Amino acid sequence: MPVPGFADRWRIEPVGAMRVPGVVFASAALLPQVAEEEALRQVANVATLPGIVEASFAMPDVHWGYGFPIGGVAATDVEDGGIVSPGGVGFDISCGVRLLAAPVTLGEVGAALRRLMDRLGVTIPRGLGSGGVWHLPDAGALRKVLEGGARAAAQAGLGTEADLRRCEDGGVLVGADAAQVGERALARGLHQVGSLGSGNHFLEVQVVEKVDDPTTAAAFGLSASQVCVMIHCGSRGLGHQICSDHVRLMRDAMARYAITVPDAQLACVPVRSPEGRSYLAAMAAAANYGRANRQALTVTTRAAFAEALGTSAGSLQLVYDVSHNLAKLEHHDIGGSERLLCVHRKGATRALPPGHPDLPDDLRPFGQPVLVPGSMGTASYVLTGVVPGEAFASACHGAGRTMSRHAALRHVRGAELCRRLEASGIAVRASSLRGLAEEAPEAYKDIYEVVATCERAGLARRVARLRPIGVVKG
């Protein structure tokens, strides 16, 4: 049912074991897509988890996922039996988006775009099992990355202090403990630092097509016609293995804590339990891996720009780097009392409002950059957080799928899609036509409607629209 007095907000009333309502942010145009999926059932299932507060939230890009819906946000009260669930983070821990702003405009790039895309196509590792650009000698070096994140990359010469200032948490999520990461996860992650992977991950060269808020855009380092690079990837096989390992451990442990869940994929334990602390430490390690991964790809991207367009073009500045698959311990006001919460954001990005103390000094007056990639071939957006910040200061993370990858393959041929994108002015460098077809624009929701809904619902507001001119995919 719609929530009176609020735009684009729908409520699932508590029934059965639900401890809180479900709240879905969706416009009338998006709601039929949401209602046809199992995603709403998952929203209701999440509302049954011990310690959950306020509501089980769903962003405008919500769709079916593992246990939690993708586009789901849920917070549990740590001091009141609140749980942590790997399903509320996902397998690709710290999957996130990084946006770089180049010191060139589209007009200045001109015919050199093909040369740039050729260079990126050669130097950006991607695909299943691909090697990375940062060659770590052994597991000991990897453990330093797991605990040091993007800062470890910068200390190894793969970045600057300026990069770290524009990363969520300064590029390092505290609480990481490499000792909580299993040997299989370490083996999977050792040779993949600095790689995109496959699926919906990409590196996209874009141009700022429209500026909605010139003052905030300037503070972010963006201007009309400027060329940008958006990088979307996460913690690769290491994060997937950590999730698998801890889901198994939690399923075995739940009975000891008298926890029952309506879906085995919601396996969880109290945050304060030994298993909960172990997962959060391993998850933080994977988060740091994801941040180091994007940092290493940043240096490779800068080198490609310098080689293709000239040395000065390689000085791309980091706008922001933010994860959208993470559980974080945060303080929030609940019923007039400040509480320590474990906030799960799965396919949802933090959207801190202006004035928030976790923002770097130069961004604090304007709010946090919220990076929202569209489907391949459509626009992406830069938003910013707003006061007060709904759903524990969270927002959408992308367009959201409406079609499974298998369904997309039945409807789209990779070669035809490649020709279509090239004809529309988007240079494509894909290692797999099958992978390209799986990510066809028609497999996703309308990004324009998703972003407009996000704005009307009070989750974030528009700063700039970015149009793709080149894409690198696995």
Catalytic residues: 397
Whole-angstrom distance, CA of residue 34 vs CA of residue 36: 6
Whole-angstrom distance, CA of residue 458 vs CA of residue 449: 14
Phi, psi of 56 (to 5 degrees): -95, 110
Whole-angstrom distance, CA of residue 435 vs CA of residue 127: 9
Q: How far apart are the first and last CA of the chain?
A: 41
Alpha carbon distances (Å) from 177 to 184, 191, 224, 234, 296: 16, 20, 43, 18, 21
Please check whether residue 24 is in contact with residue 62, taking contact to mean a CB–CB distance below 8 angstroms: yes
* Assigned token pair, 263: 């879906």
Residues 6+ positions from 351 with CB-CB distance below 8 Å: 367, 368, 370, 383, 384, 385, 386, 389, 393, 394, 395, 459, 460
* Assigned token pair, 424: 């529309």
Phi, psi of 288 (to 5 degrees): -65, -35
Neighbours of 423 (CB within 10 A): 8
Nearest one of 71, 84, 65 to 22, comparing CA atoms: 71
- Please name the residue ranges forming H helices in 254-383: 274-309
- Please name the residue ranges forming H helices in 110-213: 113-123, 139-155, 161-165, 183-189
Whole-angstrom distance, CA of residue 151 vs CA of residue 153: 5
Tell me whether the omega of the peptide bond preceding residue 2 falls within 30 degrees of 0, making it cis: no
DSSP 156: T
According to DSSP, the residues that pair with 121 across neighbouring strands are none
Whole-angstrom distance, CA of residue 28 vs CA of residue 37: 15
Tell me whether the omega of the peptide bond preceding residue 50 falls within 30 degrees of 0, making it cis: no
